[in-house]
Structure 1
Amino acid sequence: MSKLEQGIQFMQEGKWEDAAKLLTEAIQEEPKNPIGYVNFANLLDVLGEYERAVSFYKKALELDDKLATAYYGLGTICYEQEQYDDAKRMFEKAMSCGLQSGDVYFMLGFTYVQLDNDRLALPYLQRAMELNEQDAEAAFQYGLCLARLNHVKEAKPVFEKVIELDETHADALYNLGVVYAFEENGEKALELFKKAVKQQPDHFLAGNGIRLLEQEQ
């Protein structure tokens, strides 16, 4: 196992100091290998050292301007710092350079959500859900985007899928309850709102939904 591979393994195990030592040595031994810089930038990002991480991602791109993972890393930092236009550009660049993972589709879609453009977010969130079939959060955000665009009928099976993946997902339980309320099935809506509150006692919207429906009974 190379120092680069060992450093990545230490990162996965949360051994940050060991990872930093080996990744630094890997860069020193192969200063023209952009992968070393990307992985060291990933480490810095995890540790919250964003400015240093950006410099290492940029160094990687100086060596290989088609390195999709470096653009993705820069995108996540821009997103974390609420620089959504820059994040969008970086994620799009990562995709144009060949990155087609569910994560990049999710992040680009969610960036569009932050930019208040659900219409453009929708296809990316849908693709993220398709690529990460077991990812409850990807499915939930897709369902939520559908609902905001008034595609309530289409959102219903998506929220049901989220609950199949994670029966404790309070927001999915609440939003599915809203769908049933929209369909004028108050009994089912009330049941789902109560389940949401059971999972998250301070869920204000679900609690409010319960009060409104119980007043109607």
Structure 2
Amino acid sequence: MELELQRSILYHENGNLEEAEKGYLELIKENPEDGKLNFLLGTLYLQGGRPDVSSVFLGKSVSKNPSNTKAINNLGLAYQSMGRYDDAIKLFKAAIKVDKNYLSAYNNLAICCQLTGDYQNAVEILLTALSINQNDSETNYNLGTVLHKNGEFEEAIKYYKKAVELNSKSAEAYYNIALIKIDNKEFESAETFLKKSYEIQPNNFDILFNLGFVNEQLKNYTSAENFYNAAYKLNPSSSELNFNLGNIFKENKNWKRA
């Protein structure tokens, strides 16, 4: 069993979920109550976008080992994906009760609170997480998003900047700073942060669209057209993009395309 299990885990770690699933299912036929197998299979289904199936296996894993914080946390994520927010919140709190330093559970609990509109609790939870480890990029980013959605833009920028200081590959943090700058009509600053995000994710429609938009506002029409065209290749059906492209073609005297 051990050799087959290690082979399946290797498939799983390398992203070959189909082969990993086959291996886990064969093994669990003979060991249906095995907590580790149920955890691995439940986690695989969670990663594969099947939270309902995932919750069955993770639930069994938690029942076999109530102190397995990863299983508790992942079961919470499965319930969260299913819209069962109250159940998810209970599980994230249970994981924290087992391990008061388990940052993933704090972050997931805060996200779940945010999804239910409980911004104040989300902020308090993330501040508690930062008191455990102030240098966790994910926690800083998540606090930025909560503050951002609550309209506290300057505070949000502070935590987004801390997130990218800790993780320079956080395209989302750069992008979200840019969105705040766009809302404030600080287009040159927005372009700077969008370009940082673009360097990390050059094929992201939203980044390309907004690079087109800020260049349009800055009257850099050739650059705007180039970014809009790149975005068009990714999503040619976007009505907003097509409208903006039409305006740019007119500015660039490209009458045939306008």
How high is the TM-score relative to the length of structure 2?
A: 0.62
- Partner residue, 1:114: 115
Give the stretch that moved more between structures: 96-105 or 30-39: 96-105
Offset, 1:99: 7.1
Q: Are the aligned partners of 1:44 and 1:52 in contact in 2 as well (CA < 8 Å)?
A: yes
- Structure 2: how far apart are the matches of 1:114 and 1:80? 11
Matching of residue 195 in structure 1 with residue 192 in structure 2: yes
- Partner residue, 1:171: 176
Q: Are the aligned partners of 2:76 and 2:92 in contact in 1 as well (CA < 8 Å)?
A: yes
Rg (Cα) greater in structure: 2
- Partner residue, 1:158: 159
Give the stretch that moved more between structures: 156-165 or 126-135: 126-135
Deviations 1:28-59 (A, max 9, x none): 45444311111111112222333322211222
- Partner residue, 1:8: 9
- Structure 1: how far apart are the matches of 2:156 and 2:5? 44
- Structure 2: how far apart are the matches of 1:167 and 1:71? 27
How high is the TM-score relative to the length of structure 1?
A: 0.72
SS in 2 for 1:202: helix
Give the stretch that moved more between structures: 109-118 or 57-66: 57-66
SS in 1 for 2:53: helix
Structure-2 change in CA distance of 1:53 and 1:128 (3 Å): farther
- Partner residue, 1:215: none
SS in 2 for 1:139: helix
Q: Are the aligned partners of 2:126 and 2:139 in contact in 1 as well (CA < 8 Å)?
A: yes
- Structure 2: how far apart are the matches of 1:108 and 1:194? 33
- Partner residue, 2:242: none
The one-letter amino acid paired with 2:98 is C
Unaligned runs of 5+ residues in structure 2 are 199-206, 219-258
- Partner residue, 1:97: 98
- Partner residue, 2:68: 67
Q: Are the aligned partners of 1:110 and 1:125 in contact in 2 as well (CA < 8 Å)?
A: no
- Partner residue, 1:48: 49
- Structure 1: how far apart are the matches of 2:154 and 2:177? 15
Offset, 1:102: 2.8
Pairing of 1:32-47 with structure 2 (within 5 A): 32-47=33-48
Structure-2 change in CA distance of 1:105 and 1:76 (3 Å): same
SS in 1 for 2:49: coil
Q: Are the aligned partners of 1:140 and 1:162 in contact in 2 as well (CA < 8 Å)?
A: yes
SS in 1 for 2:28: helix
Deviations 1:113-160 (A, max 9, x none): 11111211113334269659463x542321233455676554443232
SS in 2 for 1:66: coil
Q: Are the aligned partners of 1:170 and 1:195 in contact in 2 as well (CA < 8 Å)?
A: no
Unaligned runs of 5+ residues in structure 1 are 213-217
Structure-2 change in CA distance of 1:197 and 1:44 (3 Å): closer
Offset, 1:167: 7.2
- Partner residue, 2:252: none
Count of residue pairs brought into register by the alignment = 201
SS in 2 for 1:65: coil
Structure-2 change in CA distance of 1:193 and 1:85 (3 Å): same
